[in-house]
Structures are given as structure tokens and as C-alpha cells.
A and B are shown apart, each in its own frame.
Chain A
Amino acid sequence: MKGRSITMSLLELYQNKFSHVYVEKEILDHEKTRKILDKINNKNIILIDDYKEVFNRPKQNFLIQKLSQKLILARKKDDFLYKGSELCENFGYRNFFYASNILNCIYDCEYCYLKGLYNSSNIVIFVNIEDFLNSMDIESKDKQIYVALSYDSDILAFEGLTGFCKDYIEYAKYNKNILFEIRTKSSNFNLVFDLEIPDNVIFAWTLLPEEVISLYENKTPSLDLRLKDIKMAQSKGLEVRLSIEPLIKIKNFEHVYKNFIKKIFSELDKELIRDVNVGAFRVSKEHMKRIRKLNPYSKVFSYSFEDKKGYVSYKDEDYMREFVIDEIKKYIDKEKIY
């Protein structure tokens, strides 16, 4: 494990990921449920009435559960589309929504906002994608909408298990009023490589310097693997989005980020970069309190943070962002930088 004090011998005591799968009785026969269950070996299936019985239990330990994450398969009953948060980049789209087929993530980034968002770090997969698509039909009936699909999770990281990206890509071919963004840290693009990907599906990769990845982004693919994946997408002619966020402070910040930006643009085809967004680490004050309470000894928060009118960020957030943007400007037009 990267960036953690937990030793391998301690990890060996824990059960494998998805050793237990909690399944809502009413979706036990759903096609997606069956497909997902077929792909998981040596699991204990525990039938439940409602996913909240398990997911919302009091006093769960988010960090310890991460060491042996369980899977919960459920049916989402309402709120298939949420309005996007103001703290997120909407890339100029007025009707910005997000959809959450999956709650929580298999990666374990120390700075992740999911920490403290839910009581549990177990993964919930809502299998009823047909209801999500119906809701998108209705919402986009008379207007264009922009839907982020990887808001509460990394949907491409789960593609081998769920096939959701494929479902959304197929759907996008027939609904031109929709614009999807699939954002990922995974190296799973090979799972959708053979599909015809329409213009209204944007693939975005979240990238940070390898020094940050190895310190703080536990269980995620390395920068090299992500770049390899992006190159694979570009080889299909796809214009990709790069998301450099959240900017995480590290010793020798300028040197590390300068080399990182140089590496990205020396390896990727600049013509096939749709845009780049650069975001600082920002969470609400209350959320920051929850994250810190969960792990008061997190390295990532050992730098100075400041309360800035309702949200918390690094003291020198503006400088960090400007520095990185200036570096990017050396390689692409500033109009492409958000």
C-alpha cells in the first residue's frame, strides 16, 4: 500500500474486497445483479430489504472498512439526477447534473471528499440503470444537459464489474441533448476501446504528479498507466479532457508540478486535448471538520488551510493554481484551460 503506515502483515488479516455482497431482495433477479454476482468469486451473499440498513448503520469506521470493502447491490428509488455543486467546474454548461449509479470508490485517496460524506466506505451499486436513463430522457426532453457520471465514484474503475460506461455510451448515441463526462483515475479504457464513442461522451482523466499519487492516492494506477490509457483513447481520435485536481501540496511544489506538466504534454497529442481543468482542493468547512475527525493524522492536511467564505482551501491556493496554469499555458491555448 502506498502512503499508509499499515503494514502488509496487518493487511493479510483482512478479507478480500467484496468478500460479502449485500443484495436487496427485490433486485436479486435483476439482469445487472446477476452479471455482477457472476463476476465475484468466493463471496457471501447476504439478503437485505433496503441498502440503507447496511450503508447507513451508525458508528461505522470508514477507514477500517476500506481495508475490506463490501459491496451492496441496490435499486435507486428516486433522485436519479442531482444538480451539480457550485464548488465544481461546470465547463460553461448551465444545466449541469450528476448521476450516481455508484456510491464510494475502490481507490483510497487520502484527500478524497468521499471521506466523511457517507457513514460507510462500502460500495453501493444501483443496478437499475434503466431508471437513470428514463430520468435523463425526461430531463433532456427540451434542453441540453451536461451530466457528470463519475461524481460520487469512478465509474470506469468499475467497468469490468458493472458495464455502466458501455450502457451510457450506447445511450448517448441516441440522445444528442445529453453530454456525458466520464472522469477516471483508472487504467480501464481498454474495456471500452472497441466501442464507437460518440462526440457527446467526454472522457476525462484526473492526473496529479507521481510524487502525489504515490504519497496520497492509495490503490490508484500510476501516472504512467493513466497516460498510457489516455494515449489509447487518443489513438481512437478521441479528444480527451485532463483534470488536474485537486492540486495537492507537496515539498518542492514548483519543481514537482513543472516536471509533471512537461511530462504530460511531451507524451500526449496536444491536438487531441479538448480542455484542461485545474482545481484547488476545496471543501466546505463542515466537511473538512468531518474529514479531519476521521483521520487527525492525515499527512495531506498537515499544511495550512484557510476558511474562505464558506469553503476551506490551502492558504496559498491562488498561487498554486496560477503556477500550474502558467505552466500549462506553455503548451496549449489559454482558452482551453478552466
Chain B
Amino acid sequence: MILIQCALYVEAKPLIEKFDLKKNMKENFFEVFENDDIKLIISGYGKINASSSATYLVSKNLDCNAFLNIGIAGSRKRKIGEAVLINKLKDYDTQRTFYPDILLKHKFKEGFLETFSKVVNFEVEDLCDMEGSAFFEALSRFLPPHKIQLIKIVSDKLDGERLDFDFVYDIVKQNVEYVEDYINCLNKAFKKDEFFDVNDKIVINTIVDNLSLTEFQKNEFIKNYISFKLRKEDLNKIDRFLKLKVKNKNEGKKYYNELIRIISE
């Protein structure tokens, strides 16, 4: 699962269209659009909205492969429409700096983002927005830094001009293919492989059931089963425990001890 945050609907619209996201009508606090692999939340502008919406969405999807903030930013040094992957960000109010881990290959330029509480019309070092640092800081409680990513698209030269809806839509849309590529990479690279396959699960559940294992015994059995599997031992060694069914507690204990003796080294 990939999570995305956009401050405004217009920033999200090209993504909603590209990934064919549908509005989840059960969500009351924020607008959320989703398909089976992506959930996109519209936060509203500013740091409080960014942090509360990010926290809201991540807390329901802690096993996500990544959470991206995608939106527009101002910069006097960069070209309008340029998409930038942020490798350093700073909160202007607290002067705290944050560093997303950029581990994967991508097609963006990289840059430094400063986040302000108010609209700015003066020179900044590279890029500026009104959400980035809050998004990152809030998510740092939940996710490792390689899963918190920000892609900023340069929309203005900090000259105070009001941005038109179609213009913002167009500059985000121009970069949607790059965003899609990056999301595919994040999904592929950070997806967790399950250690137990279907057969392991059947073996474990059957033995736990057949031997009426207590919670403690079950945990010990699973711990030893992991080592047993890692050592590539012959599974036939525990075949008989799949066929027997204990009748009372004492019998269960006896077979449990035998099982542990066989699967531990």
C-alpha cells in the first residue's frame, strides 16, 4: 500500500485520474481517494492540517510501503514545472532539519525544502512550501525515513501571484508518469516478504491444534520452527505431529517436549 498526501484537491486531481482512485464515502474527517494499492488524502493547506491528516491516514495503514507528500512549492532558482524529490527539509519556525532516506533510483532532481507557516515572498535557499516539515515530523513517529518521501513541483517564483486551478493541474499532470515510476519502485523495493509460506502456516496451525499448545508453547514452537526452517532441516521429521491428536494436558506436554527436542538443534 502506498499513501499519498496532497494539500489541495487540484494537486491530487491528476493522480486521482491516473490511478483511477475512488472517493471513500465512509471517510468523514478528510477526503480520501483510493484503489486497492493507493490511498490519497487531501489535507488542506498548512502544517496542522498536514500533520493531522498524515497521522490519521498512517495510523490506519502502519504497514504501508511508503507515504508521499506530493504538491506544489515555490522557488526562485528552479524552472516552473520541475519536480523535485526532497533530500533535506527544514521547519522555519523551529529550525529543525529532517532528512528522508533516498535509497531508490528516480528521475527527479533532488533539493532542499523549507516549510513556513505563512506565505513567503522572499528569497529562500531552494524550495519552500507550507506543509513539508510537519508531514515529515509527524510521520517520523510511525515510519522509517526511507518510507517518508516528498515530491515538490515548482509552481511559482515566490512573487505573490495567485495560481490558477488549471495551471496547477497541468504542472502536476506533466509529472505524473515520473511519480508513477517512483511509486512502482517504492512498492517493489519496500514490500515485505512473508517468511512463512502456505505450507508452513498449515503445519504450524495443525500442530498447535493437535497438541493443544498453550500460548507460551505456541510461541516457543514458532521460534524453534523458524530456526528449523532456516537450517533447511527435513520437514518429515515432524510429520507424525501432524497426524496425532492429544487427549489430555499431560499427553500434550509430553508431545510438546518431544517436538521441541526434534526441531531444536
Q: Which residues of A contact B (CB under 8 A)?
A: 5, 10, 13-15, 19-20, 22, 44, 46, 48-49, 53-54, 57-61, 64-65, 67-68, 70, 251, 296-299, 301-304
Contact = CB atoms under 8 A, between A and B. Distances in A.
Contacts of A301: 227
Contacts of B227: 301-303
Contacts of A297: 195, 226, 230
Contacts of A22: 99
A57 to B, nearest CB: 6
Most chain B CB within a 10 A radius of its CB, from A13, A297, A301, A303: A13
Interface string B134-151: 000000100111100000
A3 to B, nearest CB: 12
Given A10-B188, A59-B144, A15 B103 contact: yes
A106 to B, nearest CB: 16
Contacts of A303: 227, 231, 265
26 contacts: A5-B193, A13-B104, A13-B189, A14-B104, A14-B105, A14-B189, A22-B99, A44-B87, A46-B87, A46-B99, A48-B97, A49-B97, A53-B97, A57-B145, A58-B140, A61-B146, A64-B146, A65-B101, A67-B103, A68-B104, A296-B195, A298-B230, A301-B227, A302-B228, A303-B231, A303-B265
A250 to B, nearest CB: 10
Contacts of B178: none
Given A10-B189, A48-B97, A49-B97, A65 B105 contact: no
Interface bin, chain B: 20 to 34
Interface in B51-104: 87-88, 97, 99, 101-104
A299 B189 contact: no
A57 B99 contact: yes
Nearest to A9: B188
A302 B104 contact: no
A138 B59 CA distance: 53
A61 B189 CA distance: 13
B87 A13 contact: no
B19 interface: no
Contacts of B193: 5
A48 B97 CA distance: 9
A190 to B, nearest CB: 32
Contact of B143 (A49, A59, A304): A59
A59 B146 CA distance: 10
A252 to B, nearest CB: 13
Nearest to B228: A302
